Structure 1
Amino acid sequence: MDLGEEELQFLCISDILKESISIPKQSPRTFSLVTLTLIFPLSFAILAHSLFTHPILSELQTDPTAPASDWTKLLIFQFCYLIFLFTFSLLSTAAVVFTVASLYTSKPVSFSSTIAAIPTVFKRLFITFLWVSLSMLVYNIVFLGFLILLIIAMDMQNILLLLFSVVVVLLLFLGVHVYINALWHLASVVSVLEPVYGFAAMKKSYELLKGKIGMGFVLVFCYLAACGVINMFFGGIVVHGGNDYRVSTRIMVGGFLVGLLVIVNLVGLLVQSVFYYVCKSYHHQGIDKSALYDHLGGYLGEYVPLKSSIQMENLDA
């Protein structure tokens, strides 16, 4: 993050990746501990989840008359998994965004200061997440409606309706789903670094994404694709490969894929932080580093000047 504010807007996707990968070198101990305590549990849970649910699902599929306790066990496990997933996702986001911003403003960085800031940052991220969840709920309802239409079209063998349904479903998944994710990632950074969160952060994210939608789309799509490929290999070899691979092979492959997902998640969080600064630069919204320094200090209980402004613009705008 040694580039000037005006230079950031000219970064291409490969430049953003290079800049993101170089950030942990500025504070390797802090990023190592954040990765070990937050990002690793998150990545392990994402992959190991299928290891625990697969035996239960197999039993339920082979025995339609399975007792209600098996369904209860599955629902409880799924509920606990989702709580764990979103909690550690928000904790990881809070830690990485705060640490990157601290480095950007030359604020002293340590694992203890990052952990101390997380509780306050987490509240803001959680409120933003609730607004994103509401958007995803609306999207999923529409998506489900067109999936049902697709099934009806297949059953009726209506070629025109089938093509229309396929196109809409693909557009909804590839377009709207990825776009909402891009808004969410950017809104998460806004929630940490600016005096807004929730719907206001979503609105600010929408404004920042203008002119950079293509870049944001590619970054999020590549991240989701990488996670999808890792999950596919984990499921095929580790979860369902009992008859084709030895236990030692499955353990080694599983360990490698978990490590790979840890790297993907860490780089993804770093990229979303850098992308925020790129969008700010593109819209010529200067960042007052001293004000941002004070804002970050506010999370740690430090004195924050009443008139400090993170942006060189009216905060009421």
Structure 2
Amino acid sequence: MDKEQEEMQFVGFFGIFNESYKAIFACRKIFSKITLSLILPLSFIYLVHMEVSNLFFRKIIHNEIELDHTRSGTPKYNKLSDLISDEWAYFWLFKAAYFTLFFIFSLLSTAAVVYTIACIYTARELTFNKVISVVPKVWKRLMLTFLCIFVAMFCYHVVAFFFLFVSAISIGRNDLVLAVLIILVLLYLLGFLYLTVIWHLACVVSVLEEAYGFKAMVKGKNLVKGNTWVAMVIFLTLGIAAVAVQFAFQRLVIHGSSSGMGTRVVYAIICLFLHSMLTLFGLVIQTVIYFVCKSYHHENIDKSALSEHLEVYLGEYVPLTAKDVQLEQYHV
């Protein structure tokens, strides 16, 4: 990021992508190591989870179909019933292990990338060993923020689906039902996308400022004002790209039985690479958007103070105070 802070407010949709690319290119060696050590395992866990989940479901569905064609009370019926129960238990154990590992690597990857971009912004000397030494000291703050966001997302989905259900019942059956439901679904998707933007900004705030948890979410909500649509379109673009990679993996690898094993392995490697690069790009972009939003609101970040705050992570971790990060109002 070679622009001064007051110039960052004028960076738009394409400018944010350009600044993110330049940041990655400037420290490509460190980002390569971060990708190999943290982001690549994260993408591998995600894609393997899709493959294993599909195998579990196919086996469970096959046994349930066979159970439906078996007379109840027979030894075969009881054996199939017990087998299905065990398979469901294994499936949920696998899901628990997956979410735990995915959660851990998401925290570590986010902390590493945000810290790295902040060091680039403050022109600090940066090494991969420093990044790795900082990551364990900031994960608690990020974990609390992640958990608060999960709670907010859960509540939002419960309220949204309840409202959709009640609306569908109240409207009844007429020619306007489909149009009304489409509008409600679009509003739901916009709300979900808005929460996603707040999620990403809250993660950056948790690393670079005092706030974390729900306070970080409030801070992210205030920061995104004025750049809401730009941020939403950016994360929508990244989301569409992620869905495209996921669809390609499902089509070419999971359901690509007609292709040879060698071809499927090649497709899997390509999808793994694309997903890893997309994840890295997304993490860098969320930090760049943070600096753009700070500039837009004329909140001057004292680079020396931010540098001192980043230095704190290299020593023994202590609770942050206002002296660690000074966020002064920038007056034109």
Q: Assess same fold via TM > 0.5.
A: yes
| Amino acid of the structure 2 residue aligned with 1:68 | S
| 2:98 counterpart of 1:81 | yes
Q: Secondary structure at the match of 2:40?
A: helix
Asked if 1 retains the 8 angstrom alpha-carbon contact of 2:301 and 2:328, the reply is: no
Who is 1:245 aligned against? 259
Which of these residues, 203, 223, 226, is aligned with residue 208 of structure 1? 223
| Amino acid of the structure 1 residue aligned with 2:36 | L
Deviation larger for 139-148 or 266-275? 139-148
Q: Which sections of structure 1, spanning at least 5 residues, go unmatched? A: none
Asked if 2 retains the 8 angstrom alpha-carbon contact of 1:286 and 1:312, the reply is: yes
| 2:186 counterpart of 1:170 | yes
Give 1:101 deviation, angstroms: 0.5
Q: Secondary structure at the match of 2:124?
A: coil
**Distance in 2 between residues matched to 1:81 and 1:150, nearest whole Å:** 35
Asked if 2 retains the 8 angstrom alpha-carbon contact of 1:117 and 1:300, the reply is: yes
Q: Secondary structure at the match of 1:211?
A: coil
Asked if 2 retains the 8 angstrom alpha-carbon contact of 1:153 and 1:161, the reply is: no
**Distance in 1 between residues matched to 2:250 and 2:170, nearest whole Å:** 31
- The CA RMSD measured in Å over matched residues stands at 2.2
Q: Which sections of structure 2, spanning at least 5 residues, go unmatched? A: 65-80
User: Measured at CA, do residues 72 and 3 of structure 1 come closer, stay the same or move farther in structure 2, by a change above 3 Å?
Assistant: same
| 2:112 counterpart of 1:95 | yes
**Distance in 2 between residues matched to 1:55 and 1:309, nearest whole Å:** 50
Asked if 2 retains the 8 angstrom alpha-carbon contact of 1:90 and 1:122, the reply is: yes
Which of these residues, 120, 134, 141, is aligned with residue 158 of structure 2? 141
| Amino acid of the structure 2 residue aligned with 1:16 | I
**Distance in 1 between residues matched to 2:178 and 2:228, nearest whole Å:** 29
Asked if 1 retains the 8 angstrom alpha-carbon contact of 2:164 and 2:184, the reply is: no
**Distance in 2 between residues matched to 1:70 and 1:262, nearest whole Å:** 31
User: Measured at CA, do residues 47 and 199 of structure 1 come closer, stay the same or move farther in structure 2, by a change above 3 Å?
Assistant: same
Who is 1:297 aligned against? 311
User: Measured at CA, do residues 49 and 151 of structure 1 come closer, stay the same or move farther in structure 2, by a change above 3 Å?
Assistant: farther
Larger Rg: 2
| 2:149 counterpart of 1:132 | yes
| Percent of pairs with identical residues | 38
Give 1:153 deviation, angstroms: 8.5
| 2:116 counterpart of 1:116 | no
**Moved runs in structure 1, 4+ residues, more than 6 A?**
302-307
Alignment of 1:213-228 (within 5 A): 213-228=228-243
Give 1:201 deviation, angstroms: 0.8
**Distance in 2 between residues matched to 1:151 and 1:207, nearest whole Å:** 34
| Amino acid of the structure 2 residue aligned with 1:94 | A
**Distance in 1 between residues matched to 2:280 and 2:178, nearest whole Å:** 40
User: Measured at CA, do residues 82 and 150 of structure 1 come closer, stay the same or move farther in structure 2, by a change above 3 Å?
Assistant: farther
